[in-house]
Amino acid sequence: MTARTEDAIPPNPPAVARDSYQGHYAGFVSRFLSFVVDMIVITAIFLLVLAAIWFSAKILTGTNIAFNHGSIWVLIGYVIWAFIYFARSWGANGRTAGMALFGVQVVRDDGGDVSERRAALRTLVFPLSFLFLGLGFLGIVLGNHRRALHDVIAGTTVIYCWDARAARLRYLSRN
Amino acid sequence: MGERLAPPLEARAQAVAARAVELVVSSLDVNALVDRIDLNAVLSQIDINALMDRIDIGKILDRVDMDTVLDRIDLDRVLSRVDMNRLMATVDVKALVERVDVNDVAQQVDVDGIIRKVDIDAIVDRVDLNEAAQRIDVDELVEKTDLGAIIARSSSGFAGDLLDVIRGKAVAVDDFIARAVARLRHRPYTGPPGPPGPRRPDVSPPDQLPPAGPASGEPNARTPS
């Protein structure tokens, strides 16, 4: 329970919230926006870690480490960090931070939970969908099951996991 | 002498008369005679009411063994010949109902006894609760009950509302794109299906689900988040 001021006006209700889409295949926009948020989170954390390393090195050793954005080591570090972020998040509960924000979740194509192994495979093949101008993502828009290329290879899919109906009830209860 | 002769003569005369009647009767065509009688004219002269007044119906009925009579009646055969529709058409049901004292009837009904005999579980099994739930006007329900206050107390605050809105907008755009794509492909849009398994807490309304495929249909209980 959270304290709310009486004059706080809730925003407009979710447009599609009359029927809960929970458990249905997630669309392109929800998935893309969650990916954007994930990239922001990944980059922000990575930059923070680099800054922490730079600061620690300067304090402890007095040396000034200059991180070059074009450095191969920085790039490798970034890719490894991104792999850990996605693989661990999907393997743990099927959601990254961005996916949690937009209420989507990775599941097996039969609806079951994604294992660590499958999550790692999905992360590995994820870049394939970006090839040929992102042709691998076309399946999300055109396919009946809204699966991208990496989904098909890893045997996964993405679903909505938030209850729009409950959101609608919450909105109604405040008006 | 006359007294001595009388009995033989009388006996002979009776024998002759009997013989003559016998000859007349045997020569009569009764059917032809009956045909010549105008029964309607005869009956019109009979005072039926006076005749009936003289008949003691009660006495007659006392002599009738009703059980035996009823045993001999084939009720199935009788009922099979009855046109129930025609019979019911003649019944003024409204007048009949108006004459029934419903309160009196209800007081005589052993409601507890009836309820004891009802298998509630069997009835509930036959009810499609999902379909019933779809008919509920949630907006009106929340407005008219304290349900809204309960939900408000148990749910998140402004940030949660904002999150709901962001998610809702994203889903709305997803839906819009899906409809546009369906229109371009000249296919009817049936809403986003989902994979099978324990993800969906509800069965979506019929206009939101595809008729076939692995994603359609299964009701699920577990919520993923």
A117-172 per-position pLDDT tens digit: 999 999 999 999 988 788 889 889 888 888 999 999 999 999 988 877 777 776 66
The tens digit of pLDDT for each residue in B90-107 reads 888 888 888 888 888 888
* Residue of chain B minimizing CA distance to A7: B158
Could you tell me the pLDDT band of residue A5, with boundaries at 50, 70 and 90?
very low
pTM confidence score: 0.52
Partner B, chain A 46-75, Cβ-Cβ below 8 Å: none
Partner A, chain B 181-220, Cβ-Cβ below 8 Å: 181, 185, 191-202, 204-205, 208, 210, 213-215, 220
Give me the phi and psi of A104, to 5 degrees please.
-125, 160
Could you tell me the pLDDT band of residue B147, with boundaries at 50, 70 and 90?
low
Burial class (CB within 10 angstroms; exposed 0-12, middle 13-18, buried 19+) of B39: exposed
**Contact partners, residue B161, CB within 8 Å, separation at least 6:** A10, A11, A170, A171, A174
- Chain centroid to CA A79: how far? 16
Q: What local confidence, expressed as pLDDT, does residue A9 receive?
A: 45
> Between residues B167 and B30, which one has the greater pLDDT?
B167
- Measured from the Cβ of residue A95, the count of other Cβ atoms closer than 10 Å reads 22
The alpha-carbon gap from A173 to the nearest alpha carbon of chain B, in Å, equals 4
The answer to whether residue B18 neighbours chain A at the CB level (below 8 Å) is no
Euclidean distance between CA atoms B67 and B50, whole angstroms: 31
Euclidean distance between CA atoms B89 and B80, whole angstroms: 17
What rounded mean pLDDT belongs to chain B?
A: 74
3-state secondary structure at position B113: helix
The tens digit of pLDDT for each residue in A11-47 reads 444 444 446 678 888 999 999 999 999 999 999 999 9
**A16:B175 CB<8 A:** yes
Owner of token pair 């679903």:
A159
Give me the phi and psi of A156, to 5 degrees please.
-125, 175
The tokens describing B19, both together, are 């013989």
Euclidean distance between CA atoms A44 and A81, whole angstroms: 12
Give yes or no for a contact between B211 and B190, defined as CB atoms under 8 angstroms apart. yes
Give yes or no for a contact between A107 and A113, defined as CB atoms under 8 angstroms apart. yes
